[in-house]
Structure 1
Amino acid sequence: MLNNLFSFPSVSYLVSSIDQLSAKQIQDPQRRRTLLRKTIEQIWNSQELKIILQTTVDEIAKLFALESCSFLWYFQRTKQVQVVCESVRGKQQSSRLGYYPLDMFGAAATAIAEGSLAVRSGPTSSGADFGVITRIIESLKIKNFNYPKDSVASEDMLGGMVNLLVPVKDREGWLGFIACRCQEPRSWSPAEIEFVQLIGQQLEIAIRQARLYEQTKKQARREQLLNAIANQIRESLELETILTKAIAQLLEALAIDRCIVHLVEDQDKGESITGKGNGNGNGKEKAKEDASEEIAFRRSHLFEECRDPYPPSIDDFDTHGPITEWTIEHRQPVVISNVSQDPRIGADNPEYQKAEIKSSLVMPVQANGKLHAILYLNQCSHIRQWSKSDRELAGAVADRLAISIQQAFLYAQARAAARAAERKAEELEQTLHKLKQTQSQLIQSEKMSSLGQLVAGVAHEINNPVNFIYGNISHVDGYSYDLLKLVQLYQKHYPEPGREIQDCEQDIDLEFLQEDLPNILGSMKIGTDRIRDIVLSLKNFSRLDRADTKLADIHEGIDSTLLILQNRLKAKLGYPAIELVKEYGDLPSVECYPGQLNQVFMNILSNALDALESYNQGRSFEEIRISPSRIAIRTEIVGEFVLISISDNGPGMTEEVCSRLFDPFFTTKPVGQGTGLGLSISYQIVVEKHGGSIECVSAPREGAEFRILVPLRINKFSFAQKAIASERVALSK
């Protein structure tokens, strides 16, 4: 394509093709120095290498009225030529910037490879003319390339015929060229060539300083990046966080398009985890299982950052790719300027084509002889020659990542050991806690059982004489009625009794006796009725040790509990009575453990009374009168459950206290006034014994409400049904 790239013009153009004013400026030493100084000042206006090179080609193209002027880098190791920048006069169809193989430059390839100054002559030159040019070339030590006379100079891919190539090189080994091109043949005078050479010499100094400036900046960026990674390791030991942040910073520092970290070893076993296991099973289920495992593997072992417009590629990343396997085997960096020319990858590799990867730099992430991961730096926008600085920075980052992975692994091990120790400690603590709780519950149950037996015995002993009294009151009432009737008949038929009878009437106050005796007997009947109710309540409450369930009336259990607590509801000195509001729904008999539910009602009602009494101690009589203390009990059917709501208008509780109410041994009462077991036992009775639920809804200064859900039939309803019932209760509020 570039064969005949460089062509010398004929001798007839040697002097006449240059503008006379330009020739005078170039030939006159004073003017030439002035022009050179101005040109160099333009070049030195920036420390950025790209700007320096672009300014150089712009100035040369303008000074010599060239069709175009470019700056080329030659890479000796890869034999690639990069068109770095260009200045083009007029319209240009497309950019010619990029990398090209050396052999595409035809006969000029030798001059480029040797770093020689070259002026090309075309095939139209005559022998005599060519001798003149040869003498000029020899005096300037210019490389001369002859073409066959039948060769035709053609327009190259750079937009014209390159007829002056000035090398710009340094002792460090880099090699560049100023390439001057024209559409038409053009001759160059020795003064012009020398002038371009002088610019090249100054450009060499500017390039060296720009490279030093860029190296300083790169070193600063490198130190900044490495310090950032070190800080991330100190701030976080989460491997995913460290890796994603590190490769994101590396992506920006090296201006690459993709950066991937591939964890290649199992940290627990030290074996390669890039392979897939041979699980059992087949068919669709096996395929789904394999797909799920593959996704999980990629999410935990592949981390990628990419630049727009390139999409993520880890879903298509081949964990058994040729470069991955080579790096695992050799543990050496892989530098690939052009992936299509790498025999390990191949020109038609679908993975690299889909990811649009053109160049790749691969670094093993290893420490102490152990490969932890592989770092992939991929360029997609263009073919890239990876510089020594690029490789050094990538290697330094890989070393830091190896340390971070190692530390994250040790941290994960320590954390796993700590979690195992914590689990054991928690298990021991829970066992001890359950043991203490069981012991306390056994003691409490024994107490309640003894209390039940005592109450049952007392109720039985009281019940016998009370029944005797209650049974005879009706007879006494009838007898007294008959006697009083007889006295009234005597008074009617013997209005004038004897003196002794009259004295007796006055002594016993017969008129008052006749009026008060029925009232006394009525009061005695009411009193015996109340004693009978109390005894019946004591008998109902004492059913704590009954192991079997039975159909029971929930309202009867609540009323029995309230009767026992009746004395605490009454008015006391300085405190009015506590109001009791009952909103009973139409409930059927409920299959339950009646005595245990009575214990739940007793615990909750006792706590409500304690809270109200404590709250009233901080309020005046007038405040209590205006806002009296109140306990409300409401029952209703919710689906296949019975809801019992017990609420008060006391001081309420914080969310933190509510969250711990049912914890064993938790109490808000002063020392000696509470064991912290009442609500814990209530929770077990309702939830574990009956399969229901119990919750407390409260807020400071808004009172408290306990909601108890008990199934109509034990073990008949599922957890989902209970959840639906609880949700309905919550929505009703």
Structure 2
Amino acid sequence: MQKKVSKRKKNYITNKERFSSLKDQKSLSKEEFFAEYINLLSDLRERERITRRISNQIREFLDLNQVLKTTVEDVGRLFNADRCLIALFNPETSKLYSENEYRISGNIPSILYTQLPLDIPHNWQKTLFIDKNSVVINDEKSNLLNTEEKQYISLFNIKSLSITPVVYKGEILGVITVQRIQSDKQWESKDIDILKDISDQIAIAIKQAELYSNIKKQAEREKLLRKIIETIRSSLDIDDVLQIICKEVAELFDVEKASIVEIKTDIPQGPQFIFKCAYKTREDILSSTDIDFDLRTHNYWKQVILDNQEILAINNLSESNTPDYFKKTYELLKVKSILGIGIKKDDDKWGGIALHKVDNYKNWTEDEISLLKVIADQIYIAIKQAELYTETKKQAEREYLLRNIISTIRNSSDIDEIKQTIVNDIGKTLNADRCIIYDIPTGIDSYNYTEYLSSQDLKSLKGVEANFITENKQEIVINDTKKYLKDHNLAETQTAKYLEEMNIKPVLSIPIIYADEVLGAFVVHFTRKKIVFSYKDLEFFRTLANQLGITLQKSRLYLTLKQIEEREKLLKKIINTIRNTPDINKSLNTICKLIAKLFNVEKVLVVDFPSRKNFKEYYIKQECKTNKHIIGISDIRINKKTIEYWENEIFVKKSKVIINNITKSDIPDQLKKTFKQIGIKSIIGLPIKKADGIWGSISLSQYNYYRNWTKEEIRLLEIIADQIYLAFLQSEMHTTIKRQIEVESLIRSDNSIVINRNLAQNIGLNCAISYSAIVKIYHYIKDEGKLDSDGYFVSTMENLTSSTYLSISEQKNALQELTDLALIKYKEDKQNKIYIRILEDENIIKNYISDPKLPHINKQGIKPKSTEKIFYNISELYSIYSKYYPKNCVNSAKYFIDKSKLTQNIESTKITKQYFAVISRTMHDFMQQYSLNFNNMRSIIDEWFSKNPSKANHQIIKFGLSNKILVNRLEKTLFYRLQEARLLITDCGSKMDFYSNTNLNLYNKIDSEKDED
């Protein structure tokens, strides 16, 4: 109040002086005096009005910019100025910023937003900022101006000006500049006084606005802190809380980007930086993923805000004393100013919060830094609160999960069900995208794989080989796959492609170990988010892996017992099959199928080496494939190196060939190539031994996966190999005994060959054959004591035809005729069973086998069967048997007979029906066994009858068998077939020769010849 009174008094004195000066001007007329006085009063009234208006605006408006804008316009009009500015002083930059300007017209150039540096004339600086007085220039041409002042006035084209400092309690807040551009002005003391009064009012407005701004900021800060605290209290989702904080902080601090980063230091791989949230005011604001981010920048942040516990406040990035790589990184992000503070409490260091100013530079105030520190403390509280809740919840979930797993293990014996339940529960509990249990194969089973997928859109890893995961006992922990690949120089490798294709971000693999043996691996993949595995996470997974180890071991023990039981059954079945089958060749396919099932392999191969001197000549006794699509040895041409390797290992070293993994084995490259061509991944081969050396070999092949052959499997295969050799030895002994019996029988029957022809001519060929077969069966059953009370034995028409090679109708006619001839009694029931009894009267038989004329038979009224043909032309038989056998087989039989006759100079064109049938059936079976066509058979038959057998011994078929070997086998087969046909009638004592003129010496020689090849 006192100040206002003194100002009024001062104005009164000033006006009084002006009035006195008017009185002193006696030269003025009375009218002029009053007019001048009125103008003076009007001018004073206008100035007082403007001053009051400015004062009222300062009271009414809290918006400093609005007050300054109105004030500069009023001042400009008040002093009839061409240009008027109010510039505020920034003590931090020591510059004046003109943000409010008045111009009388558009012709006057604007200097708005121009930074007015303090390099204005030095005497002006002293007057304004030290003496705090006004600077007044009435005329630009005044001689009182120095050079520096003239240059400044000329720069802005000023005629006259007045600069009044805005001062509050000795503090410079800015200046008011009133300028004349078009004409000069004589500034009076009253003008300066008014400008001083206005500057005082402006100073009050500025301080009032600062006070309001501080109060407003404080209110906003308190509001923000309340909102942060309320958000922290109301939500346990830390991600949502941090996102809200980022947004609010960015808006409050007027920055383009705010981010919160977690810095993990408690992990084995070193510090990990996880961006928990980031808020950008615009989409075009760059992120670290948009550039080639120098990872050293992360370490610098950690060093400053956590290790040194300092605040990183950068007003101007280019002028900061940060490392060059730090500057370069943020220059790429177009950042100008940075403020960063650690989120921590004492020694517990969690991470940091960072603010980035992109559009312009920002001078961080102490209040802003203090506020951000408070916010960082609140963030720490929120994080720890959320971590405590999360850890408690996680611990509860994990304990519940472990209890469920243990309960499942105890209550179920189905290992597949147990593993599937485990991966499902773990995947859902951990919110993982893939959860996998790899079970290392035990050698019998394939790679066991159990998988959980969070979405059907995810690619499954079934079928992917897991050797690299389980081949050692090391844990695999990858928190950031990109960083891992870069640090280990794996950017362009198959591993990188695999991780990218499967979209794997963090990955964890814990070996499943029991009693220091790796049983498998537990693997977790995350594809939707990045996480960092902590020590607590690893401890949980290790505990889980221990439980899985117990489960898998329990399963293995159960499966082992089950497999032992199944193997024993299969082994007994194999041995029984071997022992109960005299001819091993007939049961070998069944035996190999059982072996394939026993070892769970795709192929079993048994090879015989006929020549004990040359092992390159071999014969595949059996190649059993469980899948017809896989490639076998018989499907390709085996190269010389493969044969030499097998010969050296099996026959020279007499050792085993055991290959668990073809690609990693040390076998020759050529052999590797052959196995890969076939598709074999694992193979085991053992020699089949005999007393004086090696008989052959047996091998098992795995096509679907790599397997480790166990000692138990090797020993089991050795037992089977010994049994197979015994089976072949037994078969050879059986064949030798049978051959001896046949030879002895043939020798005994040679003297009665002519009589057989008589029997056939007297009663007919079909009747003679049928009678001989019936007698053989009858005497055998009689010796066994199995005839019924009336002397009959029971048979079927099919059983008889299988021995006589007659058709059903021929057989029925023959039985009826034998009944008519009083040689047998015969009847048939409704079930197609036939009952036959031999009439044992030797006189009747003698009548039929004596002289062909049979005069005594004619006396009894019995007609001979001479009308039935015994011998046929070969062309007739060809037509008949082409209906029963493929033409290739009948052609081969005809070619053989023609070749035989040509070789032995036999002119007869006729042969018995039975003889042609035996040869046709033999050709059919032989061609089918060795997959031969007519051309192959013709070549073999030519070799048989050739006077000069081929010395080249070239191969006929892909099995590697030469002509000579096949000829030898065909000779044996045909010889035994022919003798078998003879024995059908020779054993009964009623002999007949149905071979016509064929010389049997050709076949008799086979008996004593050894199979050298």
Q: TM-score, normalised by structure 1?
A: 0.45
Higher RCO (CA < 8 A, seq sep 6+)? 1
